[in-house]
Amino acid sequence: MKKLLGLIGMIAIVASSVSAQDIGRTDGAEESEYGQGGNPFGSTVGRMYINATFGTGFFDGAGLVDETGFLYGFDLGYEMQDWIGVQGGYTYLSDKKTSIYSAGTNFSYPWHPFIYNVSLGAGLYVPDVGDRSFGIAPGAGVDIVLGESVRLGLNYKHDFIFTDTVTTDMDRVYAGLKFMF
């Protein structure tokens, strides 16, 4: 009997999912959850984006005091699924006169109107004067969904920059305006 009830339950679930309605209004009595409903922002599967960024970087100074510098740049990415994507980017840190070329991955958790993310990137740090360095930069952030194709975000990355003699740390805090297409 339990197997028969389980089979009937499975058939009912499959039948109700096959006849699911499109996104739209939810009509019916309060808390009846009868109607169309759905996610008005749609899915981010297979979408590209460009993210214009600006903010500040905190890095070790010549003495014991940390220094800050203005940074700006952009990221170009591709979201393969709602939860994972790849991105490449360019950032320029003005006070250190350093360009950062990066590539990495981004893991997201959407909870509308917010999208929480963590990332891991690797980069090439190219100062205007001096030697190039390699580094990795784990990060985290949150985006606010402003519309179907626009997000406003706040992000943090901690850079581990490897040179021949020492590992240098840098913290980046920046805002971004992301356009999906």
pLDDT tens digits along 6-33: 556 555 554 454 444 455 555 556 665 5
**CA–CA distance, 140 with 157 (Å, rounded to integer):** 7
pLDDT digits (tens, 9 = 90+) for 88-147: 999 999 988 999 999 999 999 988 889 999 999 999 999 999 899 999 999 999 999 998
Q: What is the pLDDT of residue 148?
A: 85
Residue 55 dihedral angles phi and psi, to the nearest 5°: 175, -140
Q: Could you please report the per-residue DSSP string of 111-155?
A: ETTEEEEEEEEEEEEEESSS--EEEEEEEEEEEEEEETTEEEEEE
Question: Facing residues of 136 across strands?
Answer: 122, 160
**CA–CA distance, 56 with 164 (Å, rounded to integer):** 26
Q: Residue 44 pLDDT more than 60?
A: no
Q: What is the pLDDT of residue 84?
A: 92
Rounded average pLDDT over 45-58: 92
Q: How confident is the model at residue 60 (pLDDT cuts 50, 70, 90)?
A: confident
